[in-house]
Amino acid sequence: MPRSIWKKPFSKNIIFKSVYINNNSQRPVLIWSRNTIIFPTFVGKIFSIYNGKRFVNLQIHESMVGLKFGDFIVTRKKAIHNKK
């Protein structure tokens, strides 16, 4: 179910501050909040998103704007079944 229209898109202010501080450097911005919406100011930046065990690097493209960071990061291991 999508977020209500009368509510603003969810984002943490610390992410905007980190992007502003690391504007010219190629250091990835660390993110624990997977439910944050990707804004157009993030295009071309590299983010490290926590998947519950480790950080996964993700570079933002224009097609990702409006979606959430968690949509691009897998948090579960794929099941491996033994052959008999």
- For the entire predicted model, the pTM comes to 0.78
Would residue 79 count as lying in a domain? no
Tell me, what DSSP letter sits at residue 30? E
Residue 54 lies in domain: 13-72
Number of structural domains found in the chain: 1
Would residue 34 count as lying in a domain? yes
CATH number of the domain at 22, please.
Answer: 3.30.860.10
31: which residues sit within 8 A by CB, 6+ positions away?
A: 15, 47, 48, 49, 50, 69
Separation between Cα atoms, residue 55 and residue 68, nearest integer Å: 16
Which pLDDT band, with edges at 50, 70 and 90, does 1 fall under?
low
Would residue 7 count as lying in a domain? no
Would residue 23 count as lying in a domain? yes
Question: Quick check: 69 and 31 in contact, CB under 8 A?
Answer: yes
Would residue 78 count as lying in a domain? no
Place of tokens 């010219």: 24
> Mind listing the pLDDT tens digit for each residue in 35-77?
889 989 888 889 999 998 999 999 999 999 989 998 998 888 8
Question: Quick check: 45 and 29 in contact, CB under 8 A?
Answer: yes
Would residue 80 count as lying in a domain? no
